[in-house]
C-alpha cells in the first residue's frame, strides 16, 4: 500500500511541495489543480521533476461542477474536462478527482446526473483514464459517500468509480461501517484527513482546520480499518487543507504526514489482527524521573529550591556531577555536568528540564516503534535507558519496569537515611510543555503515534496578553500526564518562555500530595517563594465552593487555588518562577481528572505582575 500526499497539504511552490514530499519518503503525490495552474513548470517539466525524485503522480484534482449543468455550461464543463485530460496525459497521471457539484445551477435530477457522469466516464475511457467521484460534504445534491456509491453503481462505467475522503464522510457522521457496502474494485482513490470536532460550517471547517490523522478527533482509524477490511489496497493519500500547514515548514508537515499514515495503517491492521510493520504503541507505566540541566551559576539556587520544596538529596552520581533528589515517588535529577547532552541542552535553553524518564511495558519495542515512525533515538551510556528525542530536543528515556531501582543503585551513591525519610510530595502529577503554534499538532502526533495516550478536550486559557490553547495528554491510568500549550500571542507568558528559552520546552512541573495544606505550610516555612493569589479570587472561591471560614482562611494564607467538577476537587498552589523561566505547581488531586483550567487565567495574571519587560 502506497503513501501519498496532496500538493495542497504542503507550503511553498509546486516545486517546493514535490521536493518536500519526496524527501519525506512519500511514494506518490496528488497534484492540486491550482498548484499546477499557478506553476511556471510545464506538465512535462513537472513530470520530469517528480520522476527524477522517485515519485509518481497519483491523482489530478479537483475537477468541479460537471454533472447536471444546464447548457451552455454543460458543454463548457466537458471542454474543460478534455483540457485537464490533456494535462494529465503530459503529467503521466491516470486518475482524476471529480467533486460532486456545488453549483446552485446544477440539476438534482438523478437521470441527468448519471447521464453526464457516464459521458465523463466514456471520455475518460477513450484516454485510458479513471475518474473518481467524491461527495463533498457541502455539495448541492450529493454530500454523502453512500449517495455517491449509489450513483457510481448506476453510472456503471469501467472508467468511473468512487473516491473516498474521510473528512467528508466523518464530518457528516456517516457510519464507517457503510464502507462495507462498497466494491473495493470501484474505489479509485482514498484521501485521508482528520479534524478537530467543531460545530462549524462544513466548507470552512474543511478548508481551514483539517489536520493529519492522529491530530484531530475523527475516527480515521475506524475509516481505514473498514477500507482494509473490504480489501482496498490502493494508496492512502493525505489531503490536508490547514491554515498553519500553508505557512509552516513543508518538510515538517511531510515528515509528520508519513508518521501519521504509517501509524494509522498500523492501528487499522491491529484492529483486523493483521500483520503489522512495527510494535504497538508504547504503554506508559509511569513517570520515573525528570532531569534538569543546571548551569554552574544556578546550582546553589536550584539545590535550595529542591530542598525548600521538600526534596531530600538522596544520592550523588558515582562518576558524574549529578544529584538525585527525592520525595515519595518523585525523582529530580539535577545534572551539573560540564559535558554531554545536559550541557548542550542548557547552553541552548539555559537551566531547564532536559529529559524525562518513563517506565514503559517494553522499552525495546518503544524504541523500535519510534524509529519505524521516524523518531530520532539517543544512545545513552546506560544501555537499559534508551531514549527518544522529544519536545525542543529534550530526551524521553524509556525504561522497562523494575529497571529504575537498579539504575539508581548502580549509578548513584545513595543516602539510606535520606531515602528512608518520607517526603511530603508523593509523585510528579503532570508536566506542562510550551511549544510553538506551528509545532503544536506535530508534538501531539508524536505522543499519540508513539505512545498509548488519551486526549482531553483542548482548553482555551486566558493570559492577560493573549489566548493560550492547552491540550492535556495522559496515559489511560493517569500515571503520566502532560499538558501542551501554545499561543499566537507574542506577549503571553508562553511566548516569553519560548523566546527566553530559545524554543519549546517544559515550563512547569506539578507535584502531587495528599495534603496540600500541610505541604503549603511546610514549603513556606522552608522559605519557598510562592505565587501570591489576589483576595478577589478567594472571595469568589469562598462563595462558589461554599468554603468554611477556616478553609477560606487557609486558602488565603497559602495562596491556594481550587476547582471542583463531577470527578472531584482539586487544590493547587504555585512557586515563583526559577530565573523567570520554569516554575513548580503543587496539587492535591483526590479523584479530580482535570488540571484546574478555570484557575489558569488567575495564575497567569498573577505571574504577569512579575514581568519586568514592557508589553510593546
Ligand atoms: O474544498 C474543496 O473544494 C475540495 C476540493 C477537493 C477535495 O478533494 C476536497 O476534499 C475538497
Ligand atoms: Mg478530498
pLDDT digits (tens, 9 = 90+) for 385-437: 999 999 889 999 999 999 999 999 999 999 999 998 889 999 999 999 999 99
Please name the residue whose Cα sits nearest to atom 5 of ligand 1: 62
By percentage, how much of the chain surpasses pLDDT 90? 93
Please name the residue whose Cα sits nearest to atom 11 of ligand 1: 136
pLDDT tens for residues 522-545? 999 999 999 999 999 999 999 999
Tell me, using a 6 A CB cutoff, whether residue 206 lines ligand 1.
Answer: yes
C-alpha cell at 367: 524504541
Q: Is the pLDDT of residue 559 over 80?
A: yes
Tell me, using a 6 A CB cutoff, whether residue 454 lines ligand 1.
Answer: no
Q: Which ligand 1 atom is the nearest neighbour of the CA of 134?
A: 8
C-alpha cell at 296: 554552574
Give residue 37 CA to ligand 2 midpoint distance, Å.
18
Give residue 135 CA to ligand 1 midpoint distance, Å.
9
Q: Is 230 helix (H, G, I), strand (E, B) or coil?
A: coil
Overall CATH class of domain 284-608 = alpha beta
pLDDT tens for residues 193-238? 999 999 999 999 999 999 999 999 999 999 999 999 999 999 999 9
State the binding site: 134, 165, 191, 239, 430, 508, 585
- Distances from the Cα of 383 to the Cα of 286, 378, 387, angstroms: 20, 11, 10
Q: Which ligand 1 atom is the nearest neighbour of the CA of 203?
A: 1
Q: Where are the domains of the chain?
A: 3-271, 284-608
Please name the residue whose Cα sits nearest to atom 2 of ligand 1: 207
Give residue 95 CA to ligand 2 midpoint distance, Å.
13
Q: How confident is the model at residue 16 (pLDDT cuts 50, 70, 90)?
A: very high
Mean pLDDT calculated for residue range 362-374 = 98
Give residue 453 CA to ligand 2 midpoint distance, Å.
29
Q: Which ligand 1 atom is the nearest neighbour of the CA of 168?
A: 10
Is the Cβ–Cβ distance between 372 and 262 less than 8 Å? yes
Give residue 61 CA to ligand 1 midpoint distance, Å.
8
Is the Cβ–Cβ distance between 61 and 14 less than 8 Å? no
Query: Which CATH number fits the domain 3-271, given the four candidates 2.40.30.10, 3.40.1080.10, 3.20.20.150, 3.30.465.10?
Result: 3.20.20.150
Q: Which ligand 1 atom is the nearest neighbour of the CA of 207?
A: 1
Of the listed ligands, the closest to the CA of 101 is 1
In this predicted structure, what is the pLDDT of residue 616?
Answer: 64
Mean pLDDT calculated for residue range 559-566 = 96
Q: Is 592 helix (H, G, I), strand (E, B) or coil?
A: coil
In this predicted structure, what is the pLDDT of residue 289?
Answer: 98
Give residue 24 CA to ligand 2 midpoint distance, Å.
22
Q: Which of 206, 210, 243 most suits a substitution to test ligand 1, by most atoms within 8 Å of the C-beta? A: 206
Please name the residue whose Cα sits nearest to atom 1 of ligand 1: 207
In this predicted structure, what is the pLDDT of residue 501?
Answer: 84
Please name the residue whose Cα sits nearest to atom 6 of ligand 1: 62
Give residue 203 CA to ligand 1 midpoint distance, Å.
9
Tell me, using a 6 A CB cutoff, whether residue 62 lines ligand 1.
Answer: yes
Tell me, using a 6 A CB cutoff, whether residue 97 lines ligand 1.
Answer: yes
Give residue 72 CA to ligand 2 midpoint distance, Å.
27
Long-range contacts of 392-395 (CB under 8 A, 24+ apart): 392/349, 392/433, 392/435, 392/501, 392/503, 392/504, 392/505, 393/345, 393/348, 393/503, 394/345, 394/353, 394/354, 394/355, 394/356, 394/505, 394/506, 395/341, 395/354, 395/355, 395/356
Mean pLDDT calculated for residue range 231-249 = 97
Q: Can you give the pTM of this predicted structure?
A: 0.95
Tell me, using a 6 A CB cutoff, whether residue 30 lines ligand 1.
Answer: no
- Find, among 166, 276, 266, 273, the residue nearest to 223 by Cα: 166
* Angstrom distance (rounded) from CA 518 to CA 259: 46
Angle (CA) 315 318 319, round 5°:
135
Tell me, using a 6 A CB cutoff, whether residue 165 lines ligand 1.
Answer: yes
Tell me, using a 6 A CB cutoff, whether residue 239 lines ligand 1.
Answer: yes
Mean pLDDT calculated for residue range 316-329 = 97
Q: Which ligand 1 atom is the nearest neighbour of the CA of 241?
A: 1
- Quick one: three-class SS letters along 128-193? CCEEEEECCCCCCCCCCHHHHHHHHHHHCCCCEEEEEEHHHHHHCCCCHHHHHHCCHHHEEEEEEC
pLDDT tens for residues 21-80? 999 999 999 999 999 999 999 999 999 999 999 999 999 999 999 999 999 999 999 999
Q: What is the ipTM of this complex?
A: 0.99
pLDDT tens for residues 348-359? 999 999 999 999
Mean pLDDT calculated for residue range 112-121 = 98
In this predicted structure, what is the pLDDT of residue 32?
Answer: 98
In this predicted structure, what is the pLDDT of residue 266?
Answer: 98
Q: Which of 162, 171, 241 most suits a substitution to test ligand 1, by most atoms within 8 Å of the C-beta? A: 241
pLDDT tens for residues 448-499? 999 999 999 999 999 999 999 999 999 999 999 999 999 998 888 888 888 8
Is the Cβ–Cβ distance between 168 and 160 less than 8 Å? no
* Angstrom distance (rounded) from CA 235 to CA 24: 16
- Find, among 582, 393, 342, the residue nearest to 504 by Cα: 393
Q: Is the pLDDT of residue 381 over 70?
A: yes
Q: Which ligand 1 atom is the nearest neighbour of the CA of 32?
A: 6
Of the listed ligands, the closest to the CA of 209 is 1
Tell me, using a 6 A CB cutoff, whether residue 215 lines ligand 1.
Answer: no
Q: Which ligand 1 atom is the nearest neighbour of the CA of 6?
A: 8
Q: How confident is the model at residue 615 (pLDDT cuts 50, 70, 90)?
A: low
In this predicted structure, what is the pLDDT of residue 424?
Answer: 94
Of the listed ligands, the closest to the CA of 63 is 1
Amino acid at each position: 500500500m502506497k503513501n501519498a500526499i496532496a500538493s495542497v497539504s504542503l507550503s511553498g511552490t509546486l516545486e517546493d511541495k514535490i521536493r518536500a514530499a519526496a524527501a519525506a519518503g512519500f511514494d506518490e503525490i496528488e497534484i492540486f489543480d491550482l498548484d499546477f495552474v499557478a506553476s511556471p513548470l510545464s506538465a512535462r517539466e513537472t513530470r520530469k521533476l517528480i520522476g527524477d525524485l522517485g515519485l509518481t503522480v497519483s491523482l489530478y484534482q479537483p475537477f468541479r461542477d460537471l454533472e447536471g449543468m444546464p447548457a451552455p455550461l454543460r458543454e463548457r464543463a466537458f471542454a474543460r474536462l478534455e483540457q485537464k485530460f490533456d494535462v494529465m496525459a503530459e503529467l503521466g497521471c491516470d486518475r482524476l478527482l471529480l467533486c460532486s457539484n456545488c453549483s446552485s445551477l446544477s440539476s438534482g435530477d438523478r437521470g441527468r446526473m448519471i447521464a453526464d457522469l457516464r459521458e465523463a466516464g466514456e471520455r475518460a475511457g477513450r484516454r485510458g483514464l479513471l475518474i473518481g467521484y467524491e461527495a463533498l460534504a457541502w455539495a448541492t445534491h450529493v454530500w454523502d459517500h453512500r449517495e455517491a456509491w449509489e450513483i457510481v453503481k448506476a453510472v456503471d462505467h469501467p472508467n468511473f468509480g468512487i473516491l473516498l475522503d474521510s473528512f467528508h464522510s466523518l464530518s457528516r457522521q456517516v457510519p464507517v461501517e457503510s464502507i462495507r457496502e462498497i466494491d473495493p474494485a470501484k474505489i479509485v482513490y482514498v484521501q485521508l484527513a482528520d479534524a478537530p470536532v467543531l460545530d462549524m460550517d462544513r466548507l470552512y471547517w474543511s478548508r481551514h482546520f483539517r489536520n493529519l490523522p492522529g491530530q484531530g478527533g475523527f475516527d480515521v482509524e475506524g475509516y481505514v480499518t473498514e477500507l482494509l477490511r473490504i480489501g482496498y489496497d490502493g494508496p492512502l493519500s493525505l489531503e490536508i487543507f490547514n491554515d498553519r500547514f500553508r505557512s509552516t515548514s513543508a518538510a515538517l508537515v511531510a515528515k509528520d504526514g508519513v508518521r501519521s499514515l504509517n501509524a494509522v495503517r498500523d492501528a487499522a491492521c491491529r484492529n483486523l489482527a493483521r500483520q503489522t510493520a512495527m510494535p504497538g504503541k508504547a504503554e506508559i507505566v509511569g513517570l520515573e524521573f525528570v532531569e534538569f540541566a543546571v548551569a554552574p551559576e544556578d546550582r546553589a539556587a536550584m539545590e535550595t529550591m529542591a530542598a525548600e520544596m521538600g526534596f531530600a538529596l538522596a544520592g550523588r552520581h558515582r562518576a558524574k556531577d549529578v544529584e538525585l533528589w527525592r520525595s515519595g515517588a518523585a525523582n529530580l535529577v539535577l545534572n551539573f555536568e560540564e559535558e554531554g547532552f545536559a550541557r548542550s541542552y542548557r547552553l541552548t535553553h539555559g537551566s531547564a528540564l532536559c529529559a524525562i524518564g518513563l517506565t514503559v511495558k517494553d522499552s525495546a519495542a518503544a524504541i523500535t516503534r519510534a524509529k519505524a515512525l521516524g523518531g530520532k533515538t539517543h544512545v545513552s551510556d546506560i544501555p537499559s535507558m534508551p531514549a527518544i528525542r522529544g519536545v525542543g530536543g529534550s530526551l524521553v528515556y524509556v525504561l522497562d519496569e523494575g529497571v529504575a531501582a537498579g539504575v539508581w543503585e548502580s549509578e548513584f551513591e545513595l543516602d539510606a537515611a535520606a531515602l528512608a525519610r518520607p517526603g511530603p510530595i508523593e509523585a510528579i502529577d503532570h508536566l506542562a510543555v510550551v511549544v510553538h503554534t506551528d509545532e503544536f499538532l506535530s508534538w501531539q502526533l508524536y505522543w499519540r503515534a508513539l505512545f498509548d495516550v488519551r486526549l482531553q478536550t483542548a482548553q482555551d486559557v486566558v493570559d492577560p496578553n493573549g489566548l493560550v490553547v492547552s491540550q492535556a495528554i495522559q496515559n489511560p491510568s493517569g500515571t503520566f500526564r502532560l499538558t501542551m500549550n501554545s499561543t499566537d500571542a507574542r506577549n503571553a507568558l508562553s511566548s516569553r518562555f519560548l523566546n527566553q528559552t530559545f524554543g519549546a520546552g517544559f515550563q512547569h512541573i506539578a507535584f502531587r500530595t495528599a495534603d496540600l495544606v500541610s505541604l503549603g505550610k511546610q514549603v513556606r516555612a522552608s522559605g519557598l517563594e510562592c505565587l501570591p493569589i489576589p483576595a478577589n479570587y478567594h472571595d469568589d472561591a469562598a462563595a462558589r465552593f461554599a468554603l468554611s471560614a477556616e478553609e477560606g482562611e487557609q486558602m488565603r494564607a497559602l495562596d491556594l487555588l481550587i476547582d471542583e467538577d463531577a470527578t472531584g476537587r482539586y487544590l493547587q498552589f504555585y512557586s515563583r518562577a526559577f530565573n523567570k523561566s520554569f516554575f513548580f505547581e503543587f496539587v492535591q488531586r483526590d479523584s479530580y481528572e482535570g488540571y484546574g483550567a478555570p484557575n489558569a487565567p488567575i495564575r497567569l495574571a498573577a505571574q504577569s505582575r512579575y514581568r519586568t519587560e514592557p508589553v510593546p
